[in-house]
Amino acid sequence: MKGDKPVVNQRLSYDVSGAQKSHWVTRLTGMTKILVLLSLSIIGMVSYDTWYLVALTIFAIIFYQSAHFRWHQVRGLLYAIAAFTALNLALVYVFNPAYGSQIYGTSHVLLGHGFFVLTWEELFYLLNMLLKYVFIVPLILAFLFTTNPSELASGMNRIGFSYKISYAVELSLRYIPDVIRDFKQISLAQQARGLEMSKKAGIWKRLKRSTQILIPLAFSSMNKIEVTTRAMKLRRFGTNKHRTWYMAQKLAKIDYFVLIVTVLLIMIGIGLFWVDGGRFYNPFR
């Protein structure tokens, strides 16, 4: 209509509740977030330099804090990750308590004797493992909770992924809330029929009865997939080799700054391979 302003693709930032935000992390493009997450994850998983992992952890915490999450938004996920991390570290020690000594070439006994002897080398190795989890989790949370799925798909396509793969990832992320909603609706329907699944029932009964929801949930998901597939075929999706993206964004100054910092961190990590004589920083030499 006359006098209406044209619709433009503005860079809007949202938190998980949909509220518009102005934090610098949420203003980054999807491409920048993908590059930061993938590159730092790779170099962080490869390197075992403790001071370097501490530096990555500080960067990740700053990245996470800048998104200003509320505790209730990430509480359950953080509890699950903490439990998995503790279990993983315990299993690493149980299956090979002497692995730290094998890596660092020395053995300084702290506690115990025999197979389950605890050495300072093993503790130091487990510390490095812990730092890997501590630095990667804030990056993943900031990435997941501040990136629009369409923006993510556009960024993936921009760095070289096929637009079909990018679109599949976008659809997968968009279906997660729908699957959660369907699960809750089916659960309420089952409870209305007399199947107790609330906190009144024991945890084992709730887990056992939750499996009864999987069959109707699977059929519901398959139906939605079929509808989406038909709609995409009718629109001739995949006919052309390239496509344009509504959520495509140009890099801003903050994007260039974050990418430069990321490149510097990667260069430092690679340089430490020569300084340490390998992937491991060895304070026991």
Confidence (pLDDT) at 5: 41
Short-list 152, 206, 203, 144, CA closest to 177? 144
Q: How many helices (H) and strands (E) does the chain have?
A: 9, 4
| pLDDT tens by residue, 53-99 | 999 888 888 888 777 777 766 777 778 888 888 888 888 888 888 88
Q: Is the pTM of this model over 0.85?
A: no
Spans in the chain with pLDDT lower than 50: 1-21
pLDDT tens profile 122-157? 888 889 889 888 888 888 888 877 777 777 778 777
DSSP characters for 21-78? E--TTTTS-HHHHHHHHHHHHHHHHH-B-HHHHHHHHHHHHHHHHTT---HHHHHHHH
Q: Residue 17: what pLDDT? A: 39
Please list, in sequence order, all residues whose beta carbon lies within 8 angstroms of the beta carbon of residue 149, skipping any fewer than 6 positions away: 169, 170, 171, 173, 174
Q: Write out the two tokens for 42.
A: 């790779």
**Which residue pairs from 161-166 have beta carbons closer than 8 angstroms and sit at least 24 positions apart in sequence?**
163/242, 163/243, 164/238
